[in-house]
Structure 1
Amino acid sequence: MTQTLSVLLVDDEPLAIRLMEKRLNEYKNIKVIGSCNNGEQAIQFINQNQPDLVFMDIQMPGLSGLDTVKKIQAELMPAVVFATAFEEFAINAFDLNAVDYILKPIDAAHIERALTRAAERLSARQEHNNKSHLIHAVKLIDKYNAANNKEKIVIKDNDEITLVEQNEIAWIDAAGDYCCIHANGKTHIKRTTLSKLLKELDQSTFKRIHRSTIVNLNFIKGAKPLPKGEYLLDLGHNEQVKVSRSNKDQIKAFFEAGG
């Protein structure tokens, strides 16, 4: 492996983080750039630092490792290796199409395998983002036609139908043929494209801020300028989304109008 990978460690156990960092420091092409104790911290760190690879514990207080990846903006999604002490979670990890999983206690050979797979995944990354791989195996039925209901978004999952009020949606990001709808601290997955979903939404409230991201202007709490003319929007509740340079003008107009 010749590619240098920046790595984030996410685990609620400090000892586990120290052990993993010690193992990874043995590799010249691996640079551990940070560690987090929970999913909320991990989302914020990934938004701001964009690591290549994340070793993520599955069972954590608050957001689990599986729930954390659903809340990361598609453009910022790193490669993910899940670490767990419970073997039954291994199937779930592969169902989310992670790079790999590691069972605790940590085995050096498994780390070597995971790093090799991560380097291969990143070097072969195509137009489709990592999040589309992570979400791909989530089983969904074809979208329920909500054309006649403009106040709500209808999400059908097997035999269960969920109605999500538009004014409760904070932001939406696309993962291949699916959209992750973030509302009331939950993430709902709907099989549709971002362009089609945008047509169902209130155009005065929902704005496209990235190729694969829509934000509800009413949820914006503040903004932080980034290099290259981009913004990082604060939506509250530890949720942040990035505005691309090509979409910054409408966000600037929103702030200039007084929000």
Structure 2
Amino acid sequence: MRVLIVDDEPLARARLAALLGECDGVEIAGSLDDGEAALASLDTLQPDLLLLDINMPGIDGVTLARRLAGRSRPQVIFCTAYEAHALKAFELGAVDYLLKPVRLERLRDALQRAQRRLADTPLESAAWLHGRLRGEQVRIALDEVLCLLAEEKYVVVQHRRGELLIEESLRQLEDAYPDQLIRLHRNCLVPPARLLGLKTLADGRVLARLDGTELNPEISRRNLPAVRKLLRLG
């Protein structure tokens, strides 16, 4: 089981790494100090489990766990000095909630629980984007997305059934899903499978033709070679 440690305190990361060294069947996938770095590294590191702190600068542990909700991997075990977020953690599907200083036997028990859950879930799971619709938290499968457009401080997800506002930046989404999203412009990402072709205007601008929508986002000159290559490769 590949475990990624995410904690902004170096001593806490070192202690968890030492404890994991005493546990059978565990490989440390990495050790990171913030949630944004963890989100961007998931596809590269491929962890089965996160040992996740809650109070961190930037993307905190609860926010990161919310963005991972719906995935079979990675599972989440919170490791924190505070009891206050336990209910929220289990609402988000966390395997366990360990209070610092984490004890070895308690960690082993949580790891065994995570291993059983992983064994009962498929290796691959659909990626989900989480946002707000009329003030309520909702989610949309990434394979239903038509395109992602940056507008002021939000990203608008255009999907088969309408629109959804999410708080992640396009850069965060691009880093999190490098094989599932391609950049057309500084304000637009699309799933590669949506690209049908190109449309060149009289003024030289190039627009994308997308499956499932009449929207034709512009492709910047910087990103056009990558888009053409993708279309050539099918």
Distance 1:173 1:129, change over 3 A: same
Question: Which residue in 1 is equivalent to 2:218?
Answer: none
Contact 1:6/1:51 (8 A) holds in 2: yes
Question: Which residue in 2 is equivalent to 1:155?
Answer: 134
In 2, the alpha carbon distance for the partners of 1:73 and 1:251 equals 28
Question: Which residue in 2 is equivalent to 1:43?
Answer: 39
What are structure 2's unaligned runs of at least 5 residues? 143-147, 181-190, 198-207, 209-226
Question: Which residue in 2 is equivalent to 1:85?
Answer: 81
Question: Which residue in 2 is equivalent to 1:55?
Answer: 51
Matched AA of 2:134: I
If you compute each CA radius of gyration, which structure gives the higher value, 1 or 2?
Answer: 2
Counterpart secondary structure, 1:236: helix
Matched AA of 2:103: D
Question: Within the alignment, does 1:111 sit opposite 2:46 as a pair?
Answer: no
Equivalent residue for 1:200, pick from 158, 162, 168: 162
Equivalent residue for 1:256, pick from 196, 211, 228: 228
Contact 1:74/1:130 (8 A) holds in 2: yes
TM-score, length-normalised on structure 2? 0.62
Question: Which residue in 2 is equivalent to 1:96?
Answer: 92
In 1, the alpha carbon distance for the partners of 2:149 and 2:79 equals 25
CA drift of 1:81 comes to: 0.4
What are structure 1's unaligned runs of at least 5 residues? 136-152, 159-171, 176-180, 189-193, 207-218, 220-233
Contact 1:57/1:82 (8 A) holds in 2: yes
In 2, the alpha carbon distance for the partners of 1:155 and 1:107 equals 43
Query: Identity percentage over the alignment?
Result: 30
In 1, the alpha carbon distance for the partners of 2:192 and 2:71 equals 16
CA RMSD of aligned residues (A): 4.2
Counterpart secondary structure, 2:5: strand
1:7-18 alignment runs, 5 A limit: 7-18=3-14
Matched AA of 2:171: G
Question: Within the alignment, does 1:174 sit opposite 2:146 as a pair?
Answer: no
Contact 1:73/1:173 (8 A) holds in 2: no
1:19-38 alignment runs, 5 A limit: 19-38=15-34
Matched AA of 2:160: L
Question: Which residue in 1 is equivalent to 2:67?
Answer: 71
Contact 1:8/1:32 (8 A) holds in 2: yes
Contact 1:11/1:37 (8 A) holds in 2: yes
